[in-house]
Copies of this chain bind each other. A is one copy, B any other.
Amino acid sequence: VQQTIDELGYRPSPIARALVRGRSRTLALLVSDIANPFYPQLAKAIEREAWLKDYVVVTCGTDDNVRQSRRRVRRLVEQGVDGLIHASVGDDEETVLGLVDPARVVFTNRRPRRSDCHYVVSDNAAGARALTEHLIGSGHRRIGFVGGPEYASNARERLSGFRASVDAAPGVSALVAEGEFSPETGAKAVRDWLRGEDPPTAVVGVNDSVAVGVLEAVLDAGLAVPGDIAVAGFDDVLQTASSILGLTSVSQHVDEMGKRAVRAMLRLLTDPDRPEPIQEIIEPTLVVRRTTAAAPR
């Protein structure tokens, strides 16, 4: 029997199967912007793990725009995706949860406000504390933090970790700026601070993109890194560029995060009415490189 099946090259049709079973073996991944170096790495990890379990994944960029997010999600749900991994960072939590059964959503990279949701995130505050303490330990007493947009939970957590460490260290003061997750934000903040009274001797970017902007502005000002100003980022996703730039950063272990997000999703799909939410927190790791190598003067 099996012989004849092979000979005729028969292959069951996933579409027909999906229609009757209500399961398509398709997962959706929502990201803010695929071109932002953090997300491709996450997407890769997710795709790899999903394919291992024979799931196909559709990746969509939301541009952190609620309208766009809604359109995408609505379409994906109709399309019959089995679950949604929500890794973008826009202010669309309510919108999305209104469109798709929360039991089929795993948040990652961002932590949901609602407490009964599933998520796999890293401990951003702890990462920021480790980084800040490293700077304080290197002798810095005036440290700048260039944050992200207010709506991004990961940016808020990093800022609060930074604040906690600064407040706990006597004699250390902080400068804080906010903006988009872009190099321009980092560069602008640094230029402002350098024009001011008491510029920082170390600057933390809320992610690596911001940190690159910081780096650029510091070097443009004719200052040495880390001699005059130390610089650090967050995410550690610059890959090849980070070795040459020597940028100190905090690794979120994206691969692990992606893998665990998929596994969480599959557990949810296997038994949909589990009593309590899956909520995992991954400890980030500080990666010290040249841009924070030495103490100031």
Chain A residues packing against B (C-beta within 8 Å): 11-16, 18-19, 24, 26, 33-35, 37, 39-41, 43-44, 47-48, 51, 54, 56-61, 72, 75-76, 78-80, 182-183, 209, 212-213, 215-216, 219, 238-241, 243-245
Bound-complex Cα distance A245 to B212 (A)? 10
Across the interface, A40 reaches (CB within 8 A) one of B13, B40, B48, namely B40
- Interface of chain A: mostly helix, strand, loop or mixed: helix
Across the interface, A212 reaches (CB within 8 A) one of B11, B44, B241, namely B241
Can you list 6 contacts pairing A with B, beta carbon distance less than 8 Å? Answer: A13-B78, A19-B19, A35-B239, A37-B40, A58-B58, A245-B245
Quote the shortest CB–CB distance from A60 to chain B (angstroms). 7
CB nearest to A36 among chain B residues: B40
Contact (Cβ within 8 A) A213 B240: yes
Quote the shortest CB–CB distance from A186 to chain B (angstroms). 9
Contact (Cβ within 8 A) B56 A34: no
List B contacts of A11 (CB < 8 A).
78
Contact (Cβ within 8 A) A216 B239: no
List B contacts of A238 (CB < 8 A).
241
A14 with B240, Cβ < 8 A, contacts A47-B61, A59-B47 known: no
